[in-house]
Amino acid sequence: MDVDSSIGYALKRTATALRTAMEASLRSLGLSVPQYSCLEILSARPEISNADLARGVFVTRQAMHQLLGGLQEAGLVSAVGSGRVQRYSLTPEGQRVIVAASAAVVAVEERMLSGLGAAERRRLHDDLERCTAALGERA
């Protein structure tokens, strides 16, 4: 097995490079990558539950619980406890932060894709989705 020709290894390398670049870009805003992901999803889908949030960020419910605690303490997220399941939303401060963070991340993604045209980007996105779908089906 040649490790350089493996697509799986290339995938890991790209994902690691992207994460590293995101960390560097978000550091000035005082956010970690999981924290940013959490805010981004919260921005797209307000009033969301802890468990749904955890699935979107690809962590366990427990990890998301800790993450939300930190974000609440920072005043970026507020909880609406109307029942047993608490639903979370961005505070005005959180909305302000996610706008800046999202712009920073978009810039990083743009740098990553700078060598690809619009059609190539669509193609890459489609290929990745096909790979994800193929892995989802139980063999």
Partner DNA sequence: GGATCTGTGTCAAGATCTTGACGTGAAGCG
Partner DNA sequence: CGCTTCACGTCAAGATCTTGACACAGATCC
The piece of 77-85, 93-101, 113-121, 130-138 that touches DNA (CB under 7 A) is 77-85
106 binds, among a second copy, DNA, none (CB under 5 to 8 A by kind): a second copy
Smallest gap from Cβ 72 to DNA, in A, equals 11
Which distant-in-sequence residues (6+ apart) come within 8 Å of 9 by Cβ? 3
- Lookup result for tokens 């970026």: 76
Chosen residue from 18, 21, 43, 65 binding DNA by CB under 7 A: 65
Token pair, residue 85, equals 């399941």
DSSP characters for 63-78?
HHHHHHHHHHHTTSEE
Residue with Cβ nearer DNA (53 or 104): 53
Sheet arrangement for strand 77-80: 48-49, 87-90, 77-80
Q: Does 50 bind DNA (CB under 7 A)?
A: yes
Residues at the contact surface with DNA, assessed by CB under 7 A:
32, 34, 49-52, 58-63, 65-67, 83-86
